[in-house]
Amino acid sequence: MKEFELIKHFFTKQKVKRKDVELGIGDDCAVLAPIENQNIVVTTDTLVAGVHFPFDTSPRAIGHKSVAVNLSDIAAMGAKPSWLSLALTIPEVDENWLKEFCEGVFELCEFYNVELIGGDTTQGPLSITITAQGLTPKGSYLSRSGAKAGDWLYVTGELGDAALALQQITGKVDIEPQFTSILRKKLDYPKPRILAGQTLREYASAAIDLSDGLMADLGHICQASNVGANVVLDALPISTIMRDSLLSDDAIALALSGGDDYELLFTVSEDNKVGMETAMSHAGTPITCIGQMNASQTISTTLNNKAIPINTAGFEHFTE
Helix axes 161-169, 177-188, angle to 10 degrees: 110
User: Known binding site for ATP: residues?
Assistant: 119-120, 144, 211
Q: Is the dihedral of CA 49, 53, 56, 60 positive or negative?
A: negative
3-state helix, strand, coil in the chain (%, to 5): 35, 25, 35
Kindly report the backbone phi and psi dihedral angles of residue 38, in degrees, each rounded to the nearest multiple of 5, phi listed first: -130, 155
User: Known binding site for Mg(2+): residues?
Assistant: 28, 43-45, 73, 120, 209, 212
Residue type, 114: V
Rounded to whole angstroms, the Cα distance separating 165 from 183 reads 5
Q: Please, which residues bridge with residue 179 across strands?
A: none
Identify the DSSP state of 34: P
Kindly report the backbone phi and psi dihedral angles of residue 44, in degrees, each rounded to the nearest multiple of 5, phi listed first: -135, 130
Nearest C-alpha neighbor of 289 from the set 311, 269, 305: 269
Identify the DSSP state of 298: S
Rounded to whole angstroms, the Cα distance separating 221 from 289 reads 16
User: Known binding site: residues?
Assistant: 28, 43-45, 52, 73, 119-120, 144, 209, 211-212, 260, 315
> What is the DSSP code string of 200-235?
HTTTEEEEEE-SS-HHHHHHHHHHHHT-EEEEEGGG
Identify the DSSP state of 106: H
- Given a contact cutoff of 8 angstroms between Cβ atoms, the answer to whether 155 and 267 are in contact is no
Most distant pair of Cα atoms in the chain: their distance: 63
- Given a contact cutoff of 8 angstroms between Cβ atoms, the answer to whether 116 and 109 are in contact is yes
H helix or E strand, kind and range, residue 118: strand 115-123
User: Known binding site for substrate: residues?
Assistant: 52, 260, 315
Residue type, 191: K
